[in-house]
Amino acid sequence: MSFVEYGDTIKDGDTAIVFLGHESMFPVKVQHGSVTQTKYGVIRHSTDLIGKKYGSKVTCSKGGWVFILHPTPELWTMNLPHRTQILYSTDISIITMMLELKPGSIVCESGTGSGSLSHALIRTVAPTGHLYTVEFHQQRAEKAREEFREHGVEHLVTVTNQDVCKNGFGVSNIADAVFLDIPSPWEAIGHAKSALKAEGGRICSFSPCIEQVQRTCLAMEEYGFTEINTLEILLRVYNVRTVSLQIPDLGKAAEDNSSTGFDSSNPSHQGSSCANLQQGTVQFKSGVPLREVVGHTGYLTFATKS
């Protein structure tokens, strides 16, 4: 199993996604002899998972069933264990596009955090690219190395435990892109410029506060970056529902009014008017926005090394 190469069958040691529904799924490490408890009953790894095809429908001990999915960066973002606040697919998609990443690209990242963006970057630059990711916190760096090894992508990523603002990324003049998600990104702009290739490299900084963005933009200008721009991605989700509306027979109502001398301005006649108009119903699909939506997550600042 690898996050960048699809495998047909579930093997001992794989990370798989147990899918109970669109709002209910979780990762599980497949191990011979182990069991996983769900609300539909027990899943026995040896008999229910190992050797089965990914995407299989597995019946649990209580008679309910789940699907076993092959892991992807998108599914991992939705199910990973949170060690820090993470980036989600909405921001990740625009980051990979605006940094102009492709197979073979070299990317530097700080900090690694929970590895949500890291897995997406690795999948994008595979099979010949590489990710150099720097994490200040030692335990988080060690956990990230362990996850990359379990997910079959350790050959595509180098994890370094150090302070990027003081020590940089450990590489020079090779990166096609640099991504910063740290409290004071303006202190790392000089090291980012050193890591980027001689000309045309792209940089992105993620910050939740506009004051951070202001200081970062000033630092980018000071180090000679061009095409500096900041944007914010806001996701608005719609629910598709079946709506029933009554159909008024306007023609018949107008005819009745003219023939009987109906006075629509008279309040006593309004009830009978509504009864005449309500002749039937029709059903159709309608997109309805959620009453509560996710607000501001962060600002993305992009620039180009001139």
Q: What is the pLDDT of residue 244?
A: 87
Q: What is the mean pLDDT of residues 121-136?
A: 97
**pLDDT above 70 (res 279):** no
Would you tell me which CATH number, out of the four given (1.10.260.40, 3.30.9.10, 3.30.70.890, 3.10.330.20), belongs to the domain 9-71? 3.10.330.20
pLDDT at 126 over 60: yes
Which residue type occupies 193?
K
pTM of the model: 0.84
Of the listed ranges 110-124, 170-184, 234-248, the least confidently predicted one is 234-248
Q: Which residue has the higher pLDDT, 21 or 254?
A: 21
Confidence of residue 40 (pLDDT cuts 50, 70, 90): very high
163 is in an annotated binding site: yes
pLDDT (0 to 100) of residue 257: 53
Q: Order of strands, edge to edge, in the sheet holding 225-231?
A: 157-161, 130-135, 106-110, 177-180, 202-207, 299-305, 225-231
At 273, the pLDDT band (50, 70, 90 cuts) reads: very low
Q: Give the closest residue to 243 by CA, choosing from 283, 187, 204, 275.
A: 283
User: Which H/E stretch holds residue 220?
Assistant: helix 210-222
Find out whether 114 is annotated in a ligand binding site: yes
- Residue 91 among known ligand-binding residues: no
75-234+295-305 has which fold? Rossmann fold (3.40.50)
Q: How many CA atoms lie within 13 A of 280 on its CB side?
A: 4
Which is it for the CA torsion 218, 224, 227, 233, positive or negative? negative
Segment (H or E) for 97: helix 89-98
- Calculate mean pLDDT across residues 290-295: 75
Euclidean distance between CA atoms 182 and 102, whole angstroms: 24
Range with lowest mean pLDDT among 74-78, 143-147, 281-285, 290-294: 290-294
Q: Known binder of ligand: residue 256?
A: no
Phi, psi at residue 43, to the nearest 5°? -110, 120
* d(C-alpha 75, C-alpha 72), whole Å: 5
Are the beta carbons of 299 and 230 closer than 8 angstroms?
yes
Given a cut of 50, is residue 278 above it in pLDDT? no
Residues 209, 183 contacting (CB under 8 angstroms): no
Residue 157 and residue 181 in contact, taking contact as beta carbons nearer than 8 Å: no
147 annotated as ligand-binding: no
- Residue spans per domain, the chain: 9-71, 75-234+295-305
Contact 237, 293 (CB under 8 A): yes
Cβ–Cβ under 8 Å, residues 135 and 113 = yes
The yes-or-no verdict on residue 23 having pLDDT over 90 is: no
Residues 82, 83, 85: CA angle, nearest 5 degrees: 70
Q: Measure Cα distances from 171 to 47, 109, 197, 234, 260 in Å.
A: 47, 12, 10, 34, 89
What is residue 245's predicted lDDT score, i.e. its pLDDT?
83
Report residue 204 CA to chain centroid gap.
17
Least confident range of 69-73, 194-198, 295-299: 295-299
Unique residue bearing structure tokens 């998972």? 49
Residue 47 is classified by DSSP as I
Cβ atoms within 10 Å of 71's Cβ, excluding its own: 20
**Mean pLDDT, the chain, integer:** 90
Is 259 annotated in a binding site? The answer is: no
DSSP state of 84: S
- Decide if pLDDT at 259 tops 80: no
**Residue 222 above 70 pLDDT?**
yes
Q: pLDDT-based confidence at 276, cuts 50/70/90?
A: very low
Rounded to whole angstroms, the Cα distance separating 290 from 3 reads: 33
Q: Pick the range with the lowest mean pLDDT from 66-70, 278-282, 293-297.
A: 278-282
Q: What is the pLDDT of residue 254?
A: 52
275 vs 87 pLDDT, higher one: 87
pLDDT of 274 over the 60 cut: no
* CA 30/CA 27 separation, integer angstroms: 10
pLDDT on residue 80 = 95
Q: Binding residue per annotation — 250?
A: no
Q: Which residue has the higher pLDDT, 216 or 275?
A: 216
